[in-house]
Amino acid sequence: MRSVALKPRVWDIAVIAGVLLTALAIALLLLPQKADPVFVQIWQDGALLYELPLDTDTELTVGGKYENTVTIRGGAVCVSHATCPGGDCVRSGSIRDAGRGIVCLPNRLEIRLVGASGVDAVAK
């Protein structure tokens, strides 16, 4: 058996520090690219109704069989009010990352967050 110490040693701390520093360095290197704009797309019956920037606060109501009130606030979007029977879209809460979405099946409504990179869509 190759001998390896079973109790922590000084160099272990060096390894942990090295990993954390590497993480910090990569994070700093990638920082400028994190500003990808994210857009809110609102689809109904498979058609794109609106495309709005996520960083501009606004509120709008989408009609149809029922009504959904879509609120964009503080870089997040949610369905704040809906007249549909289930209310799943309201309970979905707020989303802020590209690739995420909120669906209201009764009103055939879909809210999608799209970004330039599309990383999140693939990772999921």
Partner 1 sequence: MNAVRKLTLTGVLTALALALGLLERALPLTAWIPLPGVKLGLSNIVTLFALCVLGTPYAAAILLLRAVLGSVFSGSITSLWYSLAGGALALGAMALGVRSKRLSVYGVSVLGAAAHSVGQIAAAAAVVGSVSILSYLPLLLVVSTATGALVGAAAAGVLGGWNALPKSLTGGVG
Q: 26 or 60, CB closer to partner 1?
A: 26
- Region from 44-52, 57-65, 69-77, 111-119 binding partner 1, contact rule CB under 8 A: 111-119
Residues 13-32, interacting with partner 1 (CB under 8 A): 14-16, 19-20, 22-24, 26-27, 30
SS3 assignment for 76-103: EEEEEEECCCCCHHHHCCCECCCCCEEE
Which pair of structure tokens corresponds to residue 5?
């110490």
Q: What is the distance between the alpha carbons of residues 97 and 39, in angstroms, rounded to a whole number? A: 10
Contacts with partner 1, residue ranges (CB under 8 A): 1-9, 11-12, 14-16, 19-20, 22-24, 26-27, 30, 33-34, 117-119, 122-124
